Chain A
Amino acid sequence: MSATLIQQLVDGFAALMLLTSFALLAQHRMLSVLHWFAGQGLLLAATAAIVAYGTDNEELYISALMALLLKGMLLPWLLRRVIRQLHVHREVEPLMNSSMTMLVALGVTLFSFHIIQPIEKTSLLMTRDSMAIATACVLLGMLMMITRKKAITQVIGFLAVENALFFAAIGATNGMPLVVEIGIAFDVLIAALIFGLFFFQIRTTFDSLEVDTMNAHLIHKDDDE
């Protein structure tokens, strides 16, 4: 494959990445959020693999494999189990309505393209165009955490931020050192497991997975004291 083709492919995947981020932000049904999240993980693995092929970097292949197994399969599977067992299928009405959220997301994306522009000029990597998208994805993940009310969607937002950071690492420096990457992957896995456990605990304690209910409960407790 020629370098240009690889670059085109990376750019294409980056665009798809941005699409998944927007989709995550727009979806309300839990399972479709999860599907888009899994799709993002697969995209990430594919991007990593292509960059690995393009730069002939063996370590990046391992990263790609880890992304595929962990982010594309294991995490979605874990979360799917949680959703099934807890019977949460719909996100309640978010703080902002969807169109408003989309507009804000659009603004954030434009903003990140604007600020990354001067950095892109100085980079020689073939993945340099993806940096702006990675930044946008990080911010969109955060936006998702802010606007959603269910704890599970917030966790997915958190994992999406993590995906975007991974993507940014590929884009900026062709991947982090393998050791670091393995460490992070392990962290995310553990975090997901702990989140899963917590969901059950929270459910039994508060009878709900909505953040507002937990807050109300906490504030109520403060008043008692």
Chain B
Amino acid sequence: MLSLNAALAACMVCTLATLIPAFCSRNGLQRSLLCLLLAVTGLLACIAGLAGLLVGGGDLTLPLGLPWLPMHLRIDALSSFFLLLIGSLLLSVAIYSQGYLRGMAHIASLTVFMPLFVLGMLGVVLSDDAFTFMLFWEIMSVSSYFLVTFEHQHVENRKAGYIYLLMAHLAGLLILGSFATLYAASGSFEFAAMREAVISPLWAAIAFLLAGVGFGTKAGMVPMHGWLPEAHPVAPSNVSALMSGIMLKVAIFGFLRVVWDLMGPGDFQWWWGMLVLAAGSGSAVTGVLLALQQNDLKRLLAYSSIENIGIILIGLGLGMLLARFEYPMLSALALIGALYHAINHALFKGLLFMGAGAVLHSTGTRNMEVMGGLIHRMPWTAALFLVACIAIAGLPPFNGFVSEWLIFQSALMAPQLGGTMLSTMIPFSAAMLALAGALAAACFVKAFGVVFLGRSRSEAASHAHEVDHWMKLGMAIPALLCLLFGLSPVLVIPVLDAIPQLLLHTSISDSVHAHGWLWLTPVDTGRASYSAPIILAGMLVLGGVTFWLLHPKGRTIRRSKMWSCGNPHLNARMQYNATAFSQPLRRIFSGVYQPEEKTHIARPFHTLLTQQVRYIVHIQDLMVQRLYQPVADYVLSLAKRLDRLHQQDIRAYLAYTFYTILFLLALLSIKQSIAAYHFWPLMQGKALSTQILAGQPRLPVAGLVTGVAV
């Protein structure tokens, strides 16, 4: 019961926080209260999640909601895990916001919608019936729309918000459709009944497709990702951290809840896992390829979120395939890998967005081309950002490596499944995962290198300042957790083990523990093992030795001017910038990007005297362009055609009414004649009786004719 109480308390604190602007109008006080209450919510959610995972959850029926449908809440292993995920990032973002929101005017809308957003996510995770789920889901979607359009004075923000709202509603509609399908099978909105219901393969497939595309849209799965790179960059950075870190995971939660829990592995068909695997591979590679070419720091992070969602989906797809072909242990391993990656991504992407926010806060721009050399001005931010970069690139000893390694292991250990297509799909997606990992490393070398290293490329970057302690603390917590999750997978996995026990009725904690706390040995002890502490120790020793060799005792370091190949003046424009860094990959993948490149050479005086060379490259998200644009164009043209109907004079409207009335009357008469045809004896009898009545000399029957009779 502890976890339920803590979760309810978290929801209440959240609700309380939305009321802040009602009783306090001072900006500073509003900010402090908001951050305090959000931090408390985060802490309570963490407690609820931990208690749920370690002790066990429970269920509760609240007398709220529709009269015949009270609110059902339930905490099981799956929701506990996501509560923990929400709580851990929310806590650090709340602390970070105390510094980030300082100096921001008119934060009243933020104080209302941020807790509401969190409340929506908590509610989705806690809900145990479809109605409650959808209610909180929509609260989450709509309030995050207001967060995206927080700085609504800019046109691009409003546009991004519109796209976001549109796609969020599309997602909501599809999810509603999948719940409707399950409702039709079970006859109840409660999840408990849906779990029990027997559903035919066709309807199961329909529910799966609706849920998959619906939740996939919200999670940013390619090709439904169009809203993500628009919405994430324009939201305030603390909100982007929450959206990318948690909201996308809540969508993953929804997918797990509906497909894995409500339908269950027994209903999986062989192509479901294939589809998820394909979507995951596509998302991973597309996301990271596009992330590589971005020069807007937050946009880069947004595309990288698509990549990470792809990795999670690869894990889930593998899990579904393996569960379908009766390899529960391997399936559990893939599931654990996906979940592990979910919490890892929440931590390091939250940290990265917070770091981007810190950079934005002190330089006032998101454009990487005008940054550079920030490591000297913002050493703390740089160090913490570096931690997140290493983690997201999937390098040991941080957490990103562990989860990607687990997913790899399940792919590599997967035996031959029936059919050529299946047996090629798994190695293919593993290869895509590897490619995405390598490209992600390149991408974050670029992000860190261009932003923090080198010399500053602008006035703003050279006058940047370190952020305050709140923000540093807010970033330090996830950084620490990244290291912790990276070092101690052997301790974390047994805690997560409750989820495969719930969904697949399998446990892998025994095999994980087989070689003690030091070695992580998933499933097969003979084949693969990983020990983060030993690797860390090795790295420390290697680093120490190198340092010692380079800086022996008694020799001072001599600093001198950089060698400039004989060129007298070195300036900041001569260094690699973001566009230049990604040029080789742009060349290699030019078939995928189809970049629009233009080179303008200005030779105003003589053909041999080049004064200025200007290189412009423009890379568009082809998927969005080719897929969304035709749909948008079609809808617009349809709307234009309908619009003409509205440009009529009053007589035309009257004519519409007239035709409608005629049509309805005609419908009525047709219906009557059909009824007369079907119930001929009945009608005849009725007509007969009326005839008899009419034929008699005005009996005082109907009351209204009495006067005449008298």
Interface residues of A (CB under 8 A from B): 3, 6, 54-57, 95, 108, 111-112, 114-115, 118, 121-122, 124-126, 139, 142-143, 145-147, 154, 174, 211-212, 214-215, 219
Contacts and interface: CB of A to CB of B under 8 A. Distances in A.
Contact of A212 (B649, B665, B707, B710): B649
Contacts, number: 73
Contact of A145 (B651, B662, B669): B651
Contacts of A146: 651, 654-655, 658
A124 B694 contact: yes
A143 B690 CA distance: 34
Interface stretch (B266-274, B367-375, B628-636, B696-704): B696-704
A126 B705 CA distance: 8
Q: Is the interface of A mostly helix, strand, loop or mixed?
A: helix
Given A145-B654, A146-B654, A211-B651, A111 B701 contact: no
Given A55-B708, A115-B665, A211-B651, A143 B687 contact: no
B707 A54 contact: yes
Nearest to B668: A115
Size range of the chain B interface in the assembly: 20 to 34
Given A55-B704, A55-B708, A139-B661, A124 B651 contact: no
Contact of B658 (A112, A118, A143): A143
Nearest to A51: B704
Contacts of B668: 115
B694 A111 contact: no
Contacts of B701: 124
B672 A142 contact: no
B708 A6 contact: yes
B657 interface: yes
A114 B669 contact: yes
Given A54-B707, A122-B690, A219-B647, A142 B654 contact: yes
A111 B649 contact: no
Given A57-B707, A211-B650, A122 B661 contact: no
A155 to B, nearest CB: 11
B687 A121 contact: yes
Interface string B653-667: 011011001100110
A124 B650 contact: no
B469 to A, nearest CB: 54
B706 A56 contact: yes
A124 B706 CA distance: 12
B649 A215 contact: yes
Given A3-B708, A145-B651, 17 more contacts: A55-B705, A56-B707, A57-B704, A57-B707, A95-B651, A114-B669, A118-B676, A122-B690, A124-B690, A124-B693, A139-B658, A142-B658, A146-B651, A146-B654, A147-B651, A154-B650, A214-B649
A115 B666 contact: yes
A17 B672 CA distance: 28
B657 A142 contact: yes
Interface-centre pick from A57, A114, A115, A139 (highest chain B CB count, 10 A): A115
